[in-house]
Amino acid sequence: MLKKLLIMLSIVGLALTSLNANEHKMFQTVKSEDATLVKTDSSKNFCNVCGMHLTKFYKTNHVTTFKNGNKEQYCSLHCQAKIHNHYNDKIEKIEVVDTKSLKLIDAQKAFYVVGSSKKGTMSAISKYAFLNENDAIAFQKEFGGKIHNFDEALEIAKKDINKDNAMVDKKRVPVAKKGKKIYEAMCKQDKHPEFNSVGEAKKYIIDNKLCKPLKANMQQAVAIYLYDPILAANKDKMIKVPEDAKCPVCGMFVSKYPKWVAQIDVSQKHTHYFDGVKDMMKFYFNPSKFNHNHKKSDISKMIVTDYYSLNAIDAKSAYYVIGSNIYGPMGEELIPFKNEKEAKEFSQSHAGKKILKFEEIKEEILY
């Protein structure tokens, strides 16, 4: 009798567990057999932009067919909008998942419900597409929102990109910090290029077997860290740049490039910020060329950003790699390191031509 009771309790427990799991399953998620995934390479299961699992966020998936025949799949209109901003002239067709049938449909023929109570993907404002207008209206009546065509929904996504990026980056900070620890413990160090997206970093990790076998969430964490190491950096040790500070050499806003910032302090607490060591040194050698009349004796401090830690370090004690295959905002750079050992490791991995101390940098090599 006791045995039967235990079996019954076990069955009830499993049923409750299953019910609880279903209650907490995201609206965007579908069974793998119900998802249409178009890619055939190692990135088949995740978004090319953010690296998130496509089946988990399937109901907001978009597929882009490029004019060269290549197809890419994205988890959301947010990620699709990022691609659209850069490669619009190369796009032949965009498809979206019909929220009701789960089939891919022509995005230009879809009715988008924007701003419903259902959670969005990579965006604070949700966007769900339907092939039939009546299905969109029924969804709208139940969950709210407004109905738009594709072009209107895309413009809303583009308008919100910066705000949504800030929201996503805030959530990624603890993940990136975990990713840094995993990378340092389980991955080959410094054998990778700069990445344009989390998805690109994730594909590189897989294709090049950069790490020991990782669980999916660990792999995503490492990819986020490699794509944007700033997220895992100690902000208190980085060079702090005013948002409106412009490089006196090239005129670019320096705060946009925190991985490359350099700084010169001159007498009377006047500070110049640069978007790379190369521009800093151009200014150092010839400030009059950039409408300033500072003498070297006027300089009280010069600091640069260490490539690995992103910490501010003394420019005159740093080691600089020149001629590598890693480029900064202004192209080829003098890439700074806090010690010679790390400079050598980087140089070997990234085809560096030479390692220089501060006093070995000559004005002619900057041009």
Question: In this structure, what token pair is assigned to residue 87?
Answer: 């490669």
In the chain, what are the domain boundaries? Answer: 32-159, 172-232, 236-366
Question: In this structure, what token pair is assigned to residue 20?
Answer: 């609880």
Q: Give the DSSP letter string of 76-90.
A: SHHHHHHHHHHHGGG
User: What is the percentage of the chain residues whose pLDDT exceeds 70?
Assistant: 93
- Token pair 């050698």: residue: 285
Confidence category of residue 151, pLDDT binned at 50, 70, 90: very high
Tens digit of each residue's pLDDT (9 = 90 or more) over 20-65: 333 358 999 999 999 999 999 999 999 999 999 999 999 999 999 9
Greater pLDDT, 188 or 314: 314
Identity of residue 211: C
Query: Across 225-343, where does the E strand assignment appear?
Result: 262-266, 270-274, 299-305, 312-314, 319-322, 327-328, 331-332, 335-337
Which pLDDT score is estimated for 190? 65
Tens digit of each residue's pLDDT (9 = 90 or more) over 92-113: 999 999 999 999 999 999 999 9
278-284 long-range Cβ contacts below 8 angstroms, 24+ apart: 278/328, 278/330, 278/332, 278/333, 278/334, 278/366, 279/247, 279/249, 279/250, 279/330, 280/249, 280/304, 280/315, 281/334, 281/361, 281/363, 281/366, 282/249, 282/363, 282/366, 282/367, 283/248, 283/249
pTM: 0.79
Q: Which of 245, 265, 248 is nearest to 256 (CA)?
A: 245
CA dihedral defined by 356, 357, 362, 364, rounded to 10 degrees? 30
- CB half-sphere exposure, 344, CA atoms < 13 A: 3
Tens digit of each residue's pLDDT (9 = 90 or more) over 257-301: 999 999 999 987 789 999 999 999 999 999 999 999 888 889 999
Tens digit of each residue's pLDDT (9 = 90 or more) over 65-87: 999 999 999 999 999 999 999 99
Backbone angles phi, psi at 114, to 5 degrees: -105, 130
- Token pair 């944007």: residue: 228
